[in-house]
Amino acid sequence: MSKSEYRDEARRWLTTAENDLKASHVLFKAGMYAHTCFQCQQAAEKAAKSVWYHHGLDPWGHSVQKLLSGIKSLSIPKPLQQKAAALDRFYIPTRYPNGLPDLTPSDNYFRSDAEMAVSCASEIIAACRRLLKKGTAKR
C-alpha cells in the first residue's frame, strides 16, 4: 500500500472502532454487560490497529496491549497499557460458555465490568485518535 492508502486504512479502522464503541453503549443500556465488554475490547483493538496502519505497518493479533506496545518508537503510558490489558481479558470469556468454568458470560459480567470496559475503550480510542494526528513511527 502507498502512504496515502495506509492513512486511509487507518481512518477506516478508527471510524469502525468509534462505531463499535457506540454499539457498546446500546448493549450497555440493554443490560448486556458481557457483550458490552467484548464490544469494547473490539473497539480498542481496532483503534490500536488504526495506529499501525497510520504508520505504514500491517497489524497482527487481537491483544490490545500487544498492539499498543508493538510500535516501539511510541511511548504508550503505563496506565493506558493497563487499560489495554484489562480489555484483553474480555476477548474470549465474554463470548463463550466454556470460557469460564460452569458459568455463562451473562452470569459473570456485571454493570461495573461494562462501565470499566467503556471507560477503558474510550480512553484508548481517544489516545489512538491523538496518535493518528502525529507523524509516522518505526516498528
Give tens-digit pLDDT for 124-134: 999 999 999 87
SS3 content of the chain, % helix, strand, coil (to 5): 65, 0, 35
DSSP 91: T
Residue-wise pLDDT tens digits, 89-100: 999 999 999 988
Reply yes or no on whether the pLDDT at 137 is more than 90.
no
DSSP 62: S
pTM here? 0.94
Domains of the chain in start order, with CATH, are: 3-132 (1.20.120.330)
Alpha-carbon distances of 31 from 23, 37, 81, rounded to whole Å? 13, 11, 27
Q: Which residues does 30 contact at the CB level (< 8 Å), separation at least 6?
A: none
